[in-house]
Amino acid sequence: VALVRNQAFHFPARTLSSSVRTHLRRLGMRKSLGDGVVLAFLAEAMKDRRRHIDGQRYGEVQRGLLQRIVESWNHLQGADQERLLRASFVDLSAEADGGEQPESLLSLRPFRNSATCQSRFFSLSELVSRGDPLDSYLCWTSLPLCPRGFPHFPGFKKPDLEDVVRHARVLGELADSQDIAFQHWEELKERVVAPICTFLACHPVFRDVLQTSENVATDDAGDGAGRADEGAVAEVTSTPGTGMQAADALRIRARICSQLRRVKFLAVPLDAGITCPHALVAPWRISLVLKEHRPPMFALPSYLLEHVPLLRLLGVRDALEMPQAETTNTGDEAAKAAEQAMKWLFENGAESFADVTVRCDGGSLFLHRNI
């Protein structure tokens, strides 16, 4: 890209022979490879020249610059790396890289099409890698992905918990839009829904409580000595210094569970077979007791069986099924537990299952989409 004369650096013309270039290097000509100052200058100068060149040419230039940054990354000082990460020079417009492939899953509500991405440049630290097998599918609707054709770069952003939750909420908006083609459902289940559940379960906010539940279940199956030892360990690890962290994790977990409980982000096959119709269902619409769908409730699909502890936190129901630990209770205790569950279902079922609540002068009318 041609630069104006008042720039800090100048570059030899392409018409110069290799021998002339070699002599210039001997005389002290700098190379961009491994030179953070030159790379940062190129990023700023290239952005200033954007309005003078078309989008396709700019896309080629920014890919070339990132390739040079990747090759130089391990040789740069920390300050130079931070400077390049903060430099805003990446154009996400469809002109620069051709846009998303029209038949791909990533073409459904990409973040790059939102109003916040129009007429602005992005820094490398704001972009998520397309080369990572998981990151792009965890957040393509909530974070900007790097342009197509960009090489893998260690400085790209990693999605955090809030980004994944926003992504799940956007997926829920697709439930009634009919935008998901039948060939996308298997990919959606394997590369989006299941990884979202895995990400949530492995995050410290959920991981600790899920491990605690697993330890409790193991204690119930073990002997009394094992329970005593585990209880002693729990008392030792429950120090006052971690109280605030535990409180913060509890608050964040409660908020996220409340948000995702009614979000339709779980892909559920409505019949057997790969090409069968699917639906996006909220966690509270799924029952662990059902073996087949009984709208408005749905059975848990097999690909989510390993995530049952997490899904319980998100609102997946056990209905009236007695917990395994209570199977040894007396008949009176079992009858009392079933009576309490029936009473809750009778008093709160209409409101809990409602899709729409109509407020009237004489009370509320709870409506379901299938009724």
- Please write the tens of the pLDDT for every residue from 17-51: 777 667 656 655 566 676 888 888 888 888 888 88
Q: Is the pLDDT of residue 229 over 50?
A: no
Q: Which of 11-20, 29-38, 88-97, 319-328 has the lowest mean pLDDT?
A: 319-328
Measured distance CA(76)–CA(38) in Å, rounded: 11
Q: Quick one: DSSP state of residue 293?
A: -
Going from the C-alpha of 293 to that of each of 58, 268, 271, the distances in angstroms are 52, 10, 9
Instruction: Please indicate whether residue 195 or residue 43 has the higher confidence score (pLDDT).
Output: 195
**What pLDDT is attached to residue 241?**
41
227 confidence band (pLDDT: 50, 70, 90): very low
Of 166-175, 226-235, 254-263, which gets the smallest average pLDDT? 226-235
The residue written with tokens 């956007």 in the block is: 170
Interior/surface letters 26-50, b for 16+ CB within 10 angstroms, e for the rest: eeeeeebebbbebbbbbbebbbebb
Q: Is the pLDDT of residue 224 over 50?
A: no
| pLDDT band for position 271 (cuts 50, 70, 90) | confident
The whole-number pLDDT of residue 114 equals 85
Top-ranked range on mean pLDDT: pick from 208-222, 259-273, 350-364? 259-273
Q: Which of 39-43, 157-161, 304-308, 343-347 shows the lowest per-residue confidence on average (mean pLDDT)? A: 343-347
- Could you give the count of Cα atoms lying within 13 Å of 218 in the half-sphere of its Cβ? 12
Q: How far apart are the first and last CA of the chain?
A: 63
Task: Average the pLDDT over each of 68-72, 180-184, 234-238, 337-341 and give the range with the smallest value.
Answer: 234-238
pLDDT surpasses 80 at 364: yes
Report residue 366's pLDDT band, with 50, 70 and 90 as the boundaries.
confident
Q: What is the pTM of this model?
A: 0.74
Residues 206, 252: Cα–Cα separation, whole Å:
9
Token pair, residue 301, equals: 């699909």
Given a cut of 50, is residue 239 above it in pLDDT? no
The model's confidence at residue 295, banded by pLDDT at 50, 70 and 90, is: confident
Q: How confident is the model at residue 321, as a pLDDT?
A: 44
Would you place residue 277 in the very low, low, confident or very high pLDDT band (cuts 50, 70, 90)?
confident
